[in-house]
A and B are shown apart, each in its own frame.
Chain A
Amino acid sequence: MGEVVVSSSSEEEEGMVVEFETEKDIGSSEVVRWEEFLPRMVLSVLLVEADDSTRQIIAALLRKCSYRVAAVPDGLMAWETLKDGHHNIDLILTEVELPSISGYALLTLVMEHDVYKNIPVIMMSSHDSISMVLNCLLKGAADFLIKPVRKNELRNLWQHVWKRQTVCFTFKLVLFIFLAWFVFLHMIMEVY
């Protein structure tokens, strides 16, 4: 199951109040589910898997976790789907071994693209070779799942998107505050 114990902290970010509650607030034997407190967002996942039955199963699992799914059987189609922009992909879940271009090659393409490099790429494989995992993570993959994937692993995928968006957002906010302060100072100095 996807329950996680959260520590308490609260931040205000442009009208979106994010609050986490500790286990103590709710009851000592209960565990908090993050997703119930965070604002609901429907994530679009691009699933890349060559084996038809596996692809069908993982797509159904993802939909059960309330993700929107675009499922493709090979790397080239995945790249095309990403580029055509209809789906607004938030996260890519790809098998390492694919026909046409491999999952690793797809990862490389995504990481070297100015815009798409911000989309978290999760690799998966039934091989648990340490070197493959390391290579993918070093290349920039957000995570590596060993098959058969479980529903609770898929349910937690949103955290990768949220982390990225929060980091980007916080950075932009800090920058904005700094600039605003700078402009304000400038205006004050002009008055005097």
Chain B
Amino acid sequence: MERTRLRRQVALTRQSLFDQGFLDEQFIQLEDLQDDANPNFVEEVVTLYYRDSARLITNIEKALEKNSLDFNKLDGFMHQFKGSSSSIGAKKVKAECTLFREYCRAGNGEGLPHLSVQGLNGFAWIHTSCRCTRTFQQIKKEYATLKRKLEAYFQVVRQAGPAETACWPK
């Protein structure tokens, strides 16, 4: 039957998102909050997340384009972005954010011990800013991938009809 096939597709898509490390248990908490009173809770929250984080990403991009990087400001933006991403369970995005913040802290002279700033000032600073930019590209990539996958997932959920999100035994 079409229904059963769609239901199975929903379950498989969902499981693959967890297996491939795109989502963590925080996403399950979102699903727990979905009920008859809030039938589209998960999709609504994820949509909200993508709307708000788009703004944050623009801010970070602008900050990275400057000639001299303000690591404190970057760290602040990234802290917000990481917090937001972890609240919906975006595992890979969150991991890349953590890396980015380590590089920001290194740029401030603290953080990664092997990135010592003494005596190599100019070089270490350029090194850090390159790493920040590269890590940010990685963040954007993961962010876009997750968005695509979640959109596909929600589409299948909608096709399968209401009350069709798979409930896995915990």
Q: Which positions 50-91 of chain A face chain B at CB distance < 8 Å?
A: 50-54, 56-57, 60-61, 64
Chain A hits for B32, CB < 8 A: 64, 151
Chain B hits for A151, CB < 8 A: 29, 32
Q: Are B29 and A56 in contact (CB under 8 A)?
A: no
Contact with A along B18-42 (1 / 0, CB 8 A): 0000000010011011000010010
Cα–Cα distance between A57 and B28 once the two chains are bound (Å): 12
* A39 touches B (CB below 8 Å): no
Chain A hits for B41, CB < 8 A: 60
* B79 touches A (CB below 8 Å): yes
Q: Are A51 and B87 in contact (CB under 8 A)?
A: yes
Q: Are A56 and B86 in contact (CB under 8 A)?
A: no
Known: A56-B45, A57-B45, A60-B41. A51 touches B29 (CB 8 A): no
Q: Are A51 and B52 in contact (CB under 8 A)?
A: yes
Count of residues in A whose CB is under 8 Å from the partner chain: 17
Cα–Cα distance between A56 and B26 once the two chains are bound (Å): 14
Nearest-neighbour CB distance to chain A for B170, whole angstroms, equals 11
* B154 touches A (CB below 8 Å): no
Count of residues in B whose CB is under 8 Å from the partner chain: 22
* B48 touches A (CB below 8 Å): yes
User: Can you name the residue of chain B whose Cβ is closest to the Cβ of A61?
Assistant: B33
Q: Are B33 and A147 in contact (CB under 8 A)?
A: no
The B contact surface, by secondary structure, is helix
Cα–Cα distance between A148 and B72 once the two chains are bound (Å): 23
For A53, give its contact among B29, B38, B45, B79 (CB under 8 Å): B45
Nearest-neighbour CB distance to chain A for B26, whole angstroms, equals 6
Cα–Cα distance between A52 and B80 once the two chains are bound (Å): 11
Q: Are B87 and A54 in contact (CB under 8 A)?
A: yes
* A165 touches B (CB below 8 Å): no
Chain B hits for A50, CB < 8 A: 80
Nearest-neighbour CB distance to chain A for B95, whole angstroms, equals 14
* A100 touches B (CB below 8 Å): no
Chain B hits for A97, CB < 8 A: 79-80
* B83 touches A (CB below 8 Å): yes
Q: Which positions 132-152 of chain B face chain A at CB distance < 8 Å?
A: none
Cα–Cα distance between A56 and B47 once the two chains are bound (Å): 12
Give A contacts to B, CB under 8 Å.
50-54, 56-57, 60-61, 64, 97, 126-127, 147-148, 150-151
Q: A56-B44, A126-B86 are in contact. List 17 more A-B contacts (CB 8 A).
A: A51-B52, A52-B48, A52-B49, A52-B51, A53-B48, A53-B49, A54-B83, A57-B87, A60-B41, A61-B33, A64-B32, A126-B83, A147-B86, A148-B26, A148-B86, A148-B87, A150-B29
Give B contacts to A, CB under 8 Å.
26, 29-30, 32-33, 38, 41, 44-46, 48-49, 51-52, 79-80, 82-84, 86-88
